[in-house]
Amino acid sequence: MEEEDDRMAYYLEIGAIELAGVDESGEMIFAINDKAKELAPELWEAHMNYVDNSLLELYKDGYIDIEYDENLEAMLNLSEEGYRIALEKGIIPIDMPEAPNN
């Protein structure tokens, strides 16, 4: 636990993570920011793997629909339940607008 606290303090100090807010129970919420790509590539890679795996899981469970535009760029559409799960997993920003009603 002390090692995790030290690592967290280090990432905060170098600016790879930042305080994003406080949840309803008073627990602090931290976010990995784009600076982590350069400042802490190991953290960024672990974060991206977590996000990718979480999105794949949501897709497999039927909470995400994928549509493609004319340039074949993927657009993800989360169901309300998918949005809730993604928010709980921390894979979408806490200040992202609410999921639209499907």
Residue pLDDT, tens place only, 27-47: 888 899 999 999 999 999 999
Tell me the average pLDDT across 90-94. Answer: 77
pLDDT value at residue 20: 85
13's enclosing H/E stretch is helix 2-14
Query: Does the structure show a pLDDT above 80 at 69?
Result: yes
| Sequence ranges of the domains in the chain | 2-89
CA angle at 62 for the pair 61 and 64, rounded to the nearest 5°: 115
pLDDT band at residue 23 under the 50/70/90 scheme: confident
CA angle at 75 for the pair 59 and 78, rounded to the nearest 5°: 45
- What span, in angstroms and rounded, lies between the C-alpha atoms of 95 and 23? 12
pLDDT value at residue 15: 94
Query: Does the structure show a pLDDT above 80 at 93?
Result: no
Radius of gyration of the chain (CA): 16
CB contact at 8 A, 11 and 43: yes
Half-sphere exposure for 18 (CA within 13 Å, toward CB): 8
pLDDT value at residue 94: 62
24/8: higher pLDDT? 8
Report the 10 Å Cβ neighbour count for 36.
Answer: 23
Query: Does the structure show a pLDDT above 70 at 21?
Result: yes
pLDDT value at residue 37: 95
